[in-house]
Amino acid sequence: MMDWFQLKMKIKGAKPPVWRRGFVPEGITFTQLAWMLEEMLDCEKTDNYEFDFYQKKVTLNEWKEDVNYRKGFFYSYRSASDTFVNELLSSEKWFTFRVQQEEGRKAEYRIEIEKKASEVMEKQKGGKVPIQSPLISKEVGFAGSWSDSLEKNSLLREKYQVYNGEADYRSFQKLREDFESGNDGIRVCENPESRTERNQLSMPDLINQFVDSSGIQREELLKNLLGEEIDKRKKSQGNDQKSRDPMVKDMLSSYEKADLTEMAKELHLHYSRLKKDDLAEKIANEILTPAVMRKRLLILEDREIAAFEAAMERECFSPTDEEWEGLDAVFEMDYIAYFRDEYIEVPKEVIQVYQTINTPQFQRERKRLNWMLKCLESFGFLYGVAPAKVACEIYSQKKEYAVSYEEFLEIFQKIPEEMNPCSLADGKMFLNVLKEKRLYRKIEKIQRKVDYYIPSEAEVHDYDQNKYFTGEPAYWKLKEFFSQELKYDTEEAEELCAFIYQEFAKGKMLSDIMGVLNGSGMVFGSKWHIEKFASLMADANNHTRMFELRGHMPAELSEARPVPLQHSGAKIVPMRGSADKPAEPKEKKIYPNDPCPCGSGKKYKKCCGKK
């Protein structure tokens, strides 16, 4: 039986949160893990990646000749292709995964190791079976954040089948060559043994090694090398409730120069010719200015600001997983110090600046900005592109936040560019993902010439929580069908409804959606199940808010006036059966070349009858 690690893979700094949950096997090297994560996270395939276990002070990269990978005084280095994941993923709670992308851009993810499971099941034809490949089980994000997860899982099943074998020490380049030549699959080892020849020890480890061989007293050697810093650490570890007096500059000085340079760019600071410590000091001074801290903290949600303020009331403490969840965003801003023993502390200089900016006006503005982000998510989902005044109208659905168009634009401009899902040009607003090849113009051309549907405050909150509008009875019936007839659990049924809603909203046809669902292992027990599902899908399609219809449902427009709904992507597929009156569950043999009862227009063997 194979063990699997459940990982929560979060895009660092994304607001609102964007993450995927998935499973990867034990018994693989970090090179194999990098290959899988780059696929699961939609990254370009590259050997320019890095694993950073901050608590353990271990970094792993693809080993290359004549490169010194040691990351600072306290870090040790391990070769990714020589090191198996078992030890670190079993002992640590999280790590950072960085990938160098095109044009020098670095994608960065916080990967939380949620649990280790001896068996993970998924639905396939014939019932639930153990997974045999990496799997994405859930995702959260606004439209366009991720590729389609069901299609991604189909690819993972096809190309990343896991099989047992000898230890696999292949390099990233060798993996690429083998995959490109058709040698798919991931080889796992039941009792792997990591190789250490290319590892590089941290300076404390080297000191320990030297002490063991020379007989010199370790305390005396450390004191001579590190002086008062070690004494300070020892004293603070004796009573963890006392402050360790961290400084933001010292926290930043532990980073690599390249990371500090990226931070300087984001903060629009001049950094050329600055030494590492000078650059760390310059960044610290910048992020501790009241204006900069105010701008950065404005994007925090209520639960995050509450967690931050609670942390300020304590000195040095070890946070629970729930507390970490609330503090993660502030930690990424470098306003929280993290120590090797997994204790944290908000530096006093951070607290002092926060106290100067924490006014009723700041809190009101922060709440407005959070409401803005939720409105932009709904805007992007409903239309993709529309006049900015439509977004203003959505924002004003919250009565206490009703504003003029000019005031709305002022609030919009306060969202940090890297956290804003939308862009503004010539009075139009559109999703950033539609910038490429000006896709938003194509959407404009196919949109029906009707008024834009404006969601209510409750609907905006509903989409923020569930990533689709859950209030339609058609989707209640569909979810009930998944749970009661196809035996999906509640979470799976909810995720299927969200996927179907999002696909219909983008104008996908039933046959397209059925192809993906079939690939995911959806099983229908009888012809009655197929016809019932087809009828429910027709009803769901008619009650989905669509890009093409400017956020309206086909059912709303057909009630308003007798317009045909068959053009372009919003076609209503004719299907037999009734969603309210079940068909008689009388069995009738369906032959492979018969038309599929679901109404997709395909032969049964090419649709719901796929094996």
Q: Is residue 253 part of a domain?
A: no
pLDDT at residue 611, rounded to an integer: 44
The C-alpha atoms of residue 263 and residue 252 are separated, in whole angstroms, by 10
Q: Is the distance from CB of 344 to CB of 319 less than 8 angstroms? A: yes
pLDDT at residue 143, rounded to an integer? 58
**Low-confidence spans in the chain with pLDDT less than 70:** 1, 13-16, 66-74, 102-105, 125-126, 142-144, 203-204, 206-241, 340-341, 519-520, 559-611
CB environment 244-265: b (16+ within 10 A), e (fewer): bebebbbbbbbbeeebbbbbbe
37 and 92 assigned to the same domain: yes
Q: What is the pLDDT of residue 570?
A: 34
* Residue 358: count of CB within 10 angstroms of its CB: 17
Give the Å distances, CA to CA, from 442 to 234, 272, 421, 439, 445: 63, 43, 19, 5, 5
In terms of DSSP bridges, do strands 106-117 and 4-11 run parallel, antiparallel, or are they unpaired? antiparallel
CA distances in angstroms from 267 to 287, 292, 353, 525, listed in the order given: 8, 9, 18, 58
Domain boundary among 358, 378, 393: 358
584 within a domain of the structure (yes/no) = no
- 70 and 159 share a domain? yes
The pLDDT of residue 238 is 41
Same domain? For 413 and 451 the reply is yes
Q: Which of 37, 42, 51 is nearest to 134 (CA)?
A: 37
Domain with residue 9: its CATH number is 3.10.290
What are 411-451's pLDDT values in tens digits?
999 888 777 889 999 899 999 888 877 888 888 999 999 99
Residues 110 and 181 in one domain: yes
Q: Is residue 201 part of a domain?
A: no
Range of the domain at 503: 467-556
Same domain, 311 and 449: no
Place of tokens 């965003």: 329
CA pair distance 514, 492, nearest whole angstrom: 17
Is residue 321 situated within a structural domain?
A: yes
Q: Contact at 8 Å (CB) between 481 and 533?
A: yes
Please tell me the pTM assigned to this model: 0.63
Answer yes or no: do 55 and 128 share one domain.
yes
Q: Tell me, what CATH number does 329's domain have?
A: 1.10.10
Asked whether residue 264 is domain-assigned, the answer is no
Last residue of a domain, one of 342, 358, 374: 358
Strand partners, 94: 112
Cα end-to-end distance, the chain, whole Å:
25
Structure tokens at 476: 């209640």
| Same-domain pairing of 439 and 540 | no
515 and 426, same domain (yes or no): no
Looking at residue 219, its pLDDT comes to 56
Q: Which residues contact 451 (CB under 8 A, 6 or more apart)?
A: 550
What is the maximum alpha-carbon separation in the chain?
92
Asked if the structure places residue 395 within a domain, the reply is yes
DSSP 8-class letter at 288: T
The pLDDT assigned to 236 comes to 41
601 belongs to a structural domain:
no
Residues 97, 153 within the same domain: yes
Q: How many domains is the chain partitioned into structurally? A: 4
Which ranges in 268-358 belong to alpha helices (H)? 276-287, 290-297, 302-313, 321-332, 348-357
Please give the pLDDT value at position 247.
Answer: 95
Same domain, 130 and 171: yes
571 domain residue, yes or no: no
Same domain, 34 and 168: yes
Report strand pairing: 162-164 vs 186-188.
Answer: parallel
**Domain finish residue from 358, 385, 402:** 358
pLDDT digits (tens, 9 = 90+) for 249-285: 999 988 878 788 888 988 889 888 899 999 999 999 9
483 vs 496: CA distance, rounded Å: 11
In terms of domains, do 316 and 401 share one? no
Tell me what pLDDT residue 254 has. Answer: 83
Check residue 299 and give its pLDDT. 87
Question: Which among 460, 469, 470 has a CA at the least distance from the CA of 398?
Answer: 460
Instruction: Break the chain down into helix, strand, coil percent, rounded to 5.
Output: 45, 15, 40
User: At residue 178, what are phi and psi to the nearest 5 degrees?
Assistant: -65, -40
Q: What is the pLDDT of residue 8?
A: 92
